[in-house]
Amino acid sequence: MLGTLGLFGGLFTAWWALLWWVLPVSWQTISPSALLMLHLLPPIGIGAAWHSWRWWQARKEQAATAAAAESAEAERAAQRAAARDKHYQQLAARQQTLPCRGVWAHVLATRDEPSWLHELPDGCFWQTQLPDEIDDDLSWPDALAHQLVSLLSEVYALAPGAAWLPHLYEAHPEIEGREQLEIYRRAQQSTAEGQLFDEPHEADCRFLPGSGAIAERVQQVLQQNPHWPGVLICAVDSPYIAQQALDEWDEPSEAQIELARWEGAPGQASIALLFLRDMLPEPQTTDSGAPQSAVDPYTPYWEKQATYGDERWGRVPTSWQSSLYELPVVGLLCPAQEGELSEKSVMQASRQVQHLLAEALLDAALRDYPFSSEDAEPAKDCAEQIAWLVHNSGDADVGGTRLAALSTALHYFGISLNPIDEASNSVRDWGNVGCCRGLLHSALVLTHSARLQAPAVLGHFATERITISVGKPTEVNA
């Protein structure tokens, strides 16, 4: 208000001074009304023009400010949307699961057979052996080969196409690498020849690279070998045979006794897990429904070599592709979380296990992890669905801290399973299975999740370390 008065006061004063003292105006020739207009209209017009210009400038600045604010808000919204998309992309990447098409396990029962062996689901094949059924006269390498032949015979009988898949073996630390592969190759080749396949077969056996959880290692192998349609993961070991080879008069040392308390009595196991890629093409068939290469049984083998169909099936002949394609998914292995474990304090160990379990539940899509509170979906917090625990905490007199840490972490997330009655302690049930321990745990998780149609959690203990992962049935992932 004062500014406007000052503006008009200044304009009138300056104009009148200019009009009276500077401009040559003849006042006698101007009418009173024109004289009045001459004194009033120019200052008023200049003031009005000034105010109009100021108003226009203010509106322009206001529009620029609003445009800048809208642009900044749009940029923030775009950044937020990009961050949200990145968050859920990373979440989807870490929640990728590995479907398993078959579980085969031959194990030595060091105690009474678990009751769940009478409730095996489709796609899971377990056989238990007794010590009296094992030939003690076999050397250790011959015993491994014998185990592998028995295992692969069962695999090839159910899924003949698996004979043409790459076989990846867990490395045995006490046998030289080339010697191991030669043992496995001969056993694999003799098993395939015993099946009397018409198609030529050449054993493809290698070591499973890396260490740690099976799911990540298999996924990495499939990523590095895109021409493979799948893999058969195998592990064979027999600490029982190795123990029998020792002098029966030798007393076990204190270290051996302590190891048995943590790892279990010497056992024996041969495990195989079958994994195929997603979205494999359907095998080509004739109008009669039979595979193309099975139409003419008199086709010479050198002509059958060209009947492999889609290249995504790799070396698997067309006649046996359906034996793999029709295998149902037994269960899903989720990514694992590994970390340190301090066993000096139950509370500290519980916190460490709790952190790893939280990440493992997130990897298994059993825990909600929204980008913001607006995206929260409480229905995704379903960790309480877990119905079984697989672990190797050790014998009852040494594994208390480990089992207590697991139980506390499970209880924290509302998982109310009984860690004794609703759990498999591989140390007590199957003893020391050597290099088969990791594959045995994966086989147990897959079997129990398929049997119960509910997720199962795995706690794999090592020296001052623990790996936690989850296995799920296919319905949970749907």
Kindly list the distances between the CA atom of residue 419 and the CA atoms of 263, 333, 398, 400, in Å, as whole numbers in the listed order. Answer: 19, 21, 16, 11
C-alpha span between 201 and 285 (Å, rounded) = 22
C-alpha span between 400 and 423 (Å, rounded) = 14
400-412 helix and 346-363 helix, angle to the nearest 10 degrees = 50
181 vs 373, higher pLDDT: 181
Q: Residue 193: count other Cβ atoms within 10 Å of its Cβ.
A: 12
Lowest mean pLDDT segment, chosen from 140-144, 182-186, 233-237 = 140-144
C-alpha span between 443 and 471 (Å, rounded) = 10
Dihedral of CA 404/95/103/105: which sign?
negative
C-alpha span between 316 and 301 (Å, rounded) = 14
- What lies within 8 Å, CB to CB, of 341 at 6+ separation is 349, 352, 353, 402, 405, 461, 464, 465, 466
Q: Going along 334-406, which residue ranges are E strands?
A: 337-340, 388-391
Q: What is the pLDDT of residue 335?
A: 94
Q: What is the pLDDT of residue 286?
A: 47
Q: Does residue 289 carry a pLDDT above 50?
A: no
- Which H helix or E strand runs over 472? strand 465-472
Measure CA 119 to chain center.
27
pLDDT band at 19 (very low <50, low <70, confident <90, very high): low
177-194 helix and 140-158 helix, angle to the nearest 10 degrees = 40
14 vs 464, higher pLDDT: 464
- Which H helix or E strand runs over 216? helix 214-224
C-alpha span between 92 and 381 (Å, rounded) = 16
- β partners of residue 273: 103, 233
Q: What are phi and psi of 375, to 5 degrees?
A: -90, 0
CB 40, CB 8: distance < 8 Å: no
C-alpha span between 121 and 449 (Å, rounded) = 9
C-alpha span between 263 and 420 (Å, rounded) = 18
Q: What is the pLDDT of residue 443?
A: 97
Token duo for residue 351? 């916190």
* 133 exposure class (CB count in 10 Å sphere: 0-12, 13-18, 19+): exposed
Percent of the chain whose pLDDT exceeds 90: 51
Kindly list the distances between the CA atom of residue 197 and the CA atoms of 216, 258, 316, in Å, as whole numbers in the listed order. Answer: 33, 48, 12
Percent of the chain whose pLDDT exceeds 70: 82
DSSP three-state, residue 102: strand
C-alpha span between 175 and 195 (Å, rounded) = 28
Q: What is the pLDDT of residue 242?
A: 77
Domain spans of the chain, in order of start: 2-86, 96-279+291-477
Q: Does residue 476 carry a pLDDT above 60?
A: no
Q: Does residue 241 carry a pLDDT above 50?
A: yes
Q: What is the pLDDT of residue 36?
A: 63
Q: In this structure, which topology does domain 96-279+291-477 adopt according to CATH? A: Peroxisomal Thiolase; Chain A, domain 1 (3.40.47)
Token duo for residue 34? 């024109």
Q: Residue 386: count other Cβ atoms within 10 Å of its Cβ.
A: 27
Q: What is the pLDDT of residue 205?
A: 92
- Which H helix or E strand runs over 144? helix 140-158
Kindly list the distances between the CA atom of residue 305 and the CA atoms of 139, 302, 317, 346, in Å, as whole numbers in the listed order. Answer: 38, 6, 8, 61
pLDDT tens-digit series, residues 393-407: 888 777 888 999 999
C-alpha span between 4 and 59 (Å, rounded) = 19
Please give the average per-residue pLDDT across 104-131, as a whole number.
91
pLDDT band at 374 (very low <50, low <70, confident <90, very high): confident
463 vs 302, higher pLDDT: 463
Lowest mean pLDDT segment, chosen from 121-125, 244-248, 395-399 = 244-248
Q: Give the closest residue to 432 by CA, choosing from 463, 404, 395, 459.
A: 395
Q: What is the pLDDT of residue 284?
A: 74
> Which residue has tokens 């056989």?
127
pLDDT band at 16 (very low <50, low <70, confident <90, very high): low
Lowest mean pLDDT segment, chosen from 73-87, 298-312, 441-455 = 298-312
pLDDT tens-digit series, residues 266-283: 899 999 999 999 888 888
- HSE, side-chain direction, 13 A CA sphere, residue 162: 31
Q: Residue 25: count other Cβ atoms within 10 Å of its Cβ.
A: 12
Radius of gyration of the chain (CA): 39
Q: What are phi and psi of 46, to 5 degrees?
A: -65, -40
pLDDT tens-digit series, residues 187-209: 999 999 888 787 888 888 999 99
Angle at 55 (CA atoms; ends 50, 59), nearest 5 degrees: 150
Q: What is the pLDDT of residue 103?
A: 97
Q: Going along 247-336, which residue ranges are E strands?
A: 269-276, 331-333
Token duo for residue 66? 């609003």
Angle at 109 (CA atoms; ends 108, 114), nearest 5 degrees: 135
Token duo for residue 116? 């769940």
Q: To the nearest whole number, what is the mean pLDDT of the chain?
A: 85
Q: Residue 260: count other Cβ atoms within 10 Å of its Cβ.
A: 19
